[in-house]
Amino acid sequence: MSRTSRARHILSTRDRSPSLRANQPLAMATTAAMLSAAARRFSRSASTIGRREVTDSHILTIDGYAASRKIPRNWWSRSPPFEAVDHRWTIKYFPNVASCCFEGHISFFLELEVDSFYGVHRITDPVDFKFSLLDRAGNAAHSRGVEGHVFSEATKVYGVREFMAWKDLAKSGCVKDDAFTVICDITVSQDWTKVDDEDDTGGGGGGAETPAAPRVVVPPSNLREHMNDLLWKKQGADVTIHVGEESFDAHGWLLMARSPVFEAELLATPASKEKLPGGVRRRVEIKGVDPKVFKAMLHFMYTDALPETMEEEEDETVVAMAQGLLAAANRFKLERLKVVCEEILCRHIDVSSVAVTLAVAEENGCHALKAACLEFIARPGNMKKVMETEGFEKTKDSCLAGMLDVAMKQLAS
């Protein structure tokens, strides 16, 4: 290229450059807007959701080893209440477990403490807990536990029936000064919590502010307490129910709301012309139900909970009551009560009760309870023991089919 043409080229470029410089601010503004829009479009925030397990422990010393061995069946003692994993608990100690299947064994049960006489805290996450016998150095020498139990009003007591045989405890070397010590470890998974929050674009999407602590504390519901008072104080009761030799006053509107069977019965029952204290009442007679069972069922209909006294009874009494309540719940279409009783009976299956429980399950269409009974009977040696019980003699017509099925499966295997 000649010097003249090179000069013309340079001049031509210089002639164009002022217009480019004039348009530069507009171009920069357009680019900035595009980048800003893109940043808004592709900006992302990130968080981590974490689930953490919290474990607390309680050490319990059993003083009086020699005396405990002489305690008869069905006797138990409770530890003082203690706090663990944000709840209040006690430990029940059975020196000789009530069930004949586990005779000669120590049992420990964990109990969720009641908030008041009408309710308990509910733990929605499964709880793992274990009891460990401590040696003289404080180390666990023997452990038994439970995984994934959900404590609720219906299942507030749960534990290990066969924690340890007395003969094994005597050989363990863990007894010192006529006492031994166990530790209860309780583990619960905390609710999902937000543990990290940051904006990966470097601005505009930072972590959320921590909400201020509430200034007003809402007390727990006391509806159950009021409903319990409504039942036993009989204020406004307009129905009298005769069960055997006993009578119960109740409120027709509640009975009809809770049970379609009662609804049909009361709608078909004219009010008595006889004026009683509190006004005119309808009279209903219930046959085929034990008065104690009906009283417990009526308590459940008002409060949606079983009487607390059931937890304090001996195993045999609890089983008999649950069997009667299950049949009554099925008769009066109280589905939740039926499931609650089914769960209680599943926890109390043993040689002496399984035949009657199986018959109750068959008669009332409780498939899960029936399966649990047959599984227990199918264990080696159990069928013969069950057939020798008084309960089997009374109910063999109802439970023979299921037991025969178990026997056939055992022969085929």
Tens of pLDDT along 357-404?
999 999 999 999 988 988 888 888 888 888 888 888 777 776 666 666
Domain containing 84 equals: 53-189
More confident residue, 47 or 360: 360
Q: What is the pLDDT of residue 255?
A: 95
Asked if the model's pLDDT at residue 26 lies above 60, the reply is no
Tens of pLDDT along 196-220?
444 444 444 444 455 555 556 566 6
User: What's the CA gap between 373 and 357, in Å, rounded?
Assistant: 7
Backbone angles phi, psi at 200, to 5 degrees: -80, 0
The CATH number of the domain holding residue 70 is 2.60.210.10
Give the β-pairing of 179-189 and 53-63: antiparallel
Q: What is the pLDDT of residue 148?
A: 84
Choose one of 268, 291, 314: the last residue of a domain: 291
Q: Which range among 119-123, 139-143, 358-362 shows the weakest confidence by mean pLDDT?
A: 119-123
Structure-derived torsion over alpha carbons of residues 276, 282, 285, 289, reported in degrees to the nearest 10 = -100
Q: Which residues contact 43 (CB under 8 A, 6 or more apart)?
A: 199, 201, 204, 205
Domain co-membership, 275 together with 316:
no
> How many separate domains does the chain show?
3
Q: Which residues contact 261 (CB under 8 A, 6 or more apart)?
A: 331, 332, 333
Q: What is the pLDDT of residue 12?
A: 39
Question: Given pLDDT bands bounded at 50, 70 and 90, which one contains residue 99?
Answer: low
Asked if the model's pLDDT at residue 411 lies above 70, the reply is no
Tens of pLDDT along 328-350?
999 999 999 999 999 999 988 99
Domain co-membership, 387 together with 260:
no
Q: Does residue 217 lie in a domain region?
A: no
In the chain, the amino acid numbered 404 is L
Domain co-membership, 310 together with 403:
yes
Q: Does residue 30 lie in a domain region?
A: no
CA dist list (Å): 368 to 158, 182, 318, 323? 19, 34, 19, 15
Average pLDDT, the chain: 78
Asked if the model's pLDDT at residue 1 lies above 60, the reply is no
pTM over 0.75: no
Q: Does residue 122 lie in a domain region?
A: yes
